[in-house]
Amino acid sequence: MIGSGEIVTNAFRQGLMVPAFNVPYLPMIEPVVRAVADEASFAFIAVARPEWTKFEAIGPAAVAEEFAKWDDPDHVRLHLDHVPVIDEDGLRVDFVPIFREAISVGYQSVMIDASRLDLDGNIQATRQVADMAHAAGIPCEAELGAILGHEAGPLPPYDELYESGMGFTDVAEAERFVREAGCDWLSVAIGSVHGAISGAAKDQKKIEARLNLDHLERLRQATGIPLVLHGGSSVKRDMLLAAVELGIAKVNVATEIRQAYESALRESGQVAAAQQAVYDRTVWLLRDYFAVSGTSKRLTTANENQAQ
């Protein structure tokens, strides 16, 4: 079976992308997998630490157990998203045991988020997790820069954030980071924001974010590895598709499908109705937003891709 690392590299080389769908509720896994297979696409099923500390994903082992019921290797892989060294509430996290657990229960890629540390601290933490992942034969994603939105309290005005470049990944730092940290993919900050996960804001419509494509091009040239866009929900579609051509090979989506699930569950009281809402929204994302229907064979066929 082709590994997650080669799949994302295939996407990077072909100017394609792999969506990663975050699942804060276990019943979301089945409809997402079904939608991806029905669209002949490929995606990651992902869970981040906030999805078991602030929602109902329970933990990495519970997600892996539910994923195993619906696993379709031609179309999906299991990814451990955002495990922070310092979390959205400013607290230190004992992150190493989380990675050990995830690797032991079969996650096929992992992400360490040490972006709230200084550059040296981020490199050190990422190298530690990358070494663990590589020893298990799986890739490691990292983050450099500040992709805001998970923190408690309101964000500054979006236009102010974007125009100032606040939190954008520094190009020179990215070059050094990739060279020293050992990560396989790098999540970069170029204008997207995370959906809120706290309080009433978690139900609000996300900001329509923009992407600084010139900055992305500089990051691609400096790093030479697949880049990742977090906060993929509600990014202007033309900018997102252009970003894929410029090196974004993986795009994380959480708010779009989480809110579909929660809204349908509130209105109907039925998990089956909420699952159908997730299925419908995932199909729309794959077909109409990301335009990745029918790409699974191109991504999962080894050694048949021309360098871009």
For the annotated catalytic residues, the residue numbers are: 81
* Whole-number Å distance between alpha carbons of 230 and 285: 15
DSSP β-ladder status, 227-229 and 76-84: unpaired
Contact 25, 57 (CB under 8 A): yes
Q: Residue 158: CB partners within 8 Å, gap ≥ 6?
A: 193, 207, 209
Specify the DSSP class assigned to residue 43: E
Contact 109, 126 (CB under 8 A): no
- The CA–CA distances, whole Å, from 160 to 156, 167, 190, 196, 240 equal 7, 12, 14, 18, 20
The dihedral of CA 50, 146, 231, 81: what is its sign? negative
Contact 114, 85 (CB under 8 A): yes
Helix, strand or coil, per DSSP, at residue 78: strand
Minimal CA–CA distance to 143: which of 165, 117, 179, 106? 117
CB-side neighbour CA atoms (13 Å) of 154? 5
Contact 21, 250 (CB under 8 A): no
